[in-house]
């Protein structure tokens, strides 16, 4: 089990390790990248905008002495972009961890499709990460970790696996919650398959709590908001929310806690909203083996990417 005593301000050294953070140029992903780099890791930021990423990397460099930083272009709503990004990451590997952080948060008012014909929330937030993980997996070092970014929305919206892509009914928040149910289902099913194969790599899940930019330690040009919005968020949510810098803590713990077991779900310890990250119980429906198997098959079908966990090599006894 994970050590219940965890200090997010004094992380264990990650010197010599390489981590990939999707969406690592903004929001929670930015702070995840900054904190991992601050612990000594080489960080590969996988994100769409080269311009915004350059600003984010400059911000990290202004706060972390001599960080090793890379950028790979990634658009999770394009399977062609995912393939290209995965190839680039493999070239930069081996890697010690993949933080599947990026995703759409604001849902379209009407059902929208990716260029590959997938509902955009499930397609980008979940299936894009499934395809990326599958194609990056050969570069993940023994003992390496995959961390998914979950959400409290899974506690608010009941899962309907038969309409995961919102083909019968589309409601914006429902579709977002379904995408996060899929993120949860993938993380737990990957854990089961790794364990079954005797693989030393680990799959974990994290959720950031109620994390807002206005409550975060400012990063010029990275966390900037309109003054009115920043004032309103601070006035309304200071007592129940936390900054996105703290919202990164569960993902960072999942990636760096040496005692964190595969299948652990980390989130804020105070009412699931704020505080030091601690292990949590997931929603039963999206953590179930039945949903995991259903999701895995659906993901392979919709992305055209087969994801097989290889069995460990058979070691023949040595004759003496």
178-231 pLDDT, tens digit per residue, is 999 999 999 999 999 999 999 999 999 999 998 888 888 889 889 887 778 777
Residue written as tokens 């023994």?
142
Residues 133 and 235: beta-carbon distance below 8 Å: no
- Tell me the backbone φ, ψ of residue 29, rounded to 5 degrees: -60, -40
pLDDT in tens, 141-179: 999 999 999 999 999 999 999 999 999 999 999 999 999
In a domain, 153, yes or no: yes
pLDDT at 100 > cutoff 90: yes
- 3-state secondary structure at position 93: coil
Q: Does 217 fall in a domain? A: yes
Structural domain count of the chain: 1
Q: Is residue 188 part of a domain?
A: yes
Q: Which of 6, 31, 176, 186 is catalytic?
A: 176
Q: What is the pLDDT of residue 215?
A: 86
Cβ proximity of 45 and 71 under 8 Å: yes
* Residue 1 forms part of a structural domain: no
Classify residue 293: in a domain, yes or no. yes
Which CATH number characterizes residue 126's domain? 3.40.50.720
Q: Let me know if residue 262 belongs to a domain.
A: yes
Q: Which residues contact 17 (CB under 8 A, 6 or more apart)?
A: 40, 41, 42, 96, 97
Q: Is residue 239 scored above 80 in pLDDT?
A: no
Whether 1 shows a pLDDT value over 80: the answer reads: no
Which residue range is the domain that position 127 belongs to?
Answer: 18-303
Instruction: Give the model confidence (pLDDT) of 265-297 as tens digits.
Output: 999 988 788 999 999 998 999 999 999 999 999
Cβ atoms 100, 46 nearer than 8 A: no
Tell me the whole-structure pTM to 2 decimals: 0.94
Residue 196, in any domain of the structure:
yes
Q: Express each pLDDT in 71-88 by its tens digit.
A: 999 999 999 999 999 999
176 tagged catalytic: yes
């Amino acid at each position: 089990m994970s050590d219940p005593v965890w200090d997010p301000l004094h992380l264990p050294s990650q010197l010599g390790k390489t981590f990939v953070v999707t969406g690592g140029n903004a929001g929670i992903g930015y702070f995840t990248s900054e904190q991992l780099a601050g612990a000594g890791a080489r960080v590969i930021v996988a994100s769409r905008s080269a311009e915004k990423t350059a600003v984010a990397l400059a911000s990290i460099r202004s706060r972390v002495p001599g960080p090793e930083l890379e950028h790979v272009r990634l658009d999770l709503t394009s399977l062609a972009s995912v393939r290209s990004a995965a190839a680039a990451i493999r070239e930069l590997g081996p890697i010690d961890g993949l933080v599947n952080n990026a995703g759409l948060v604001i849902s379209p008012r009407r059902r929208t499709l990716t260029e590959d014909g997938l509902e955009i929330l499930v397609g980008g937030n979940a299936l894009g990460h499934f395809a990326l993980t599958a194609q990056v997996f050969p570069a993940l070092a023994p003992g390496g970790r995959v961390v998914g970014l979950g959400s409290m929305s899974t506690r608010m919206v009941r899962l309907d696996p038969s309409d995961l892509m919102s083909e019968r009914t589309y409601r914006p928040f429902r579709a977002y919650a379904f995408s996060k149910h899929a993120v949860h289902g993938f993380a737990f099913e990957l854990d089961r398959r790794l364990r079954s194969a005797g693989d030393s790599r680990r799959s974990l899940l994290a959720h950031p709590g109620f994390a807002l930019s206005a409550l975060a330690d400012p990063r010029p040009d990275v966390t900037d908001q309109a003054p009115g919005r920043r004032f309103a968020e601070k006035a309304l949510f200071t007592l129940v929310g936390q900054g996105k810098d703290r919202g990164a803590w569960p993902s960072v713990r999942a990636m760096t806690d040496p005692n964190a077991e595969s299948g652990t779900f980390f989130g804020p310890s105070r009412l699931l909203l704020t505080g030091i990250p601690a292990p949590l119980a997931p929603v039963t429906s999206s953590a179930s083996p039945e949903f995991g198997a259903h999701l895995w098959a659906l993901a392979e079908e919709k992305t055209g990417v087969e994801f097989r966990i290889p069995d460990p090599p058979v070691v023949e006894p040595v004759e003496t």
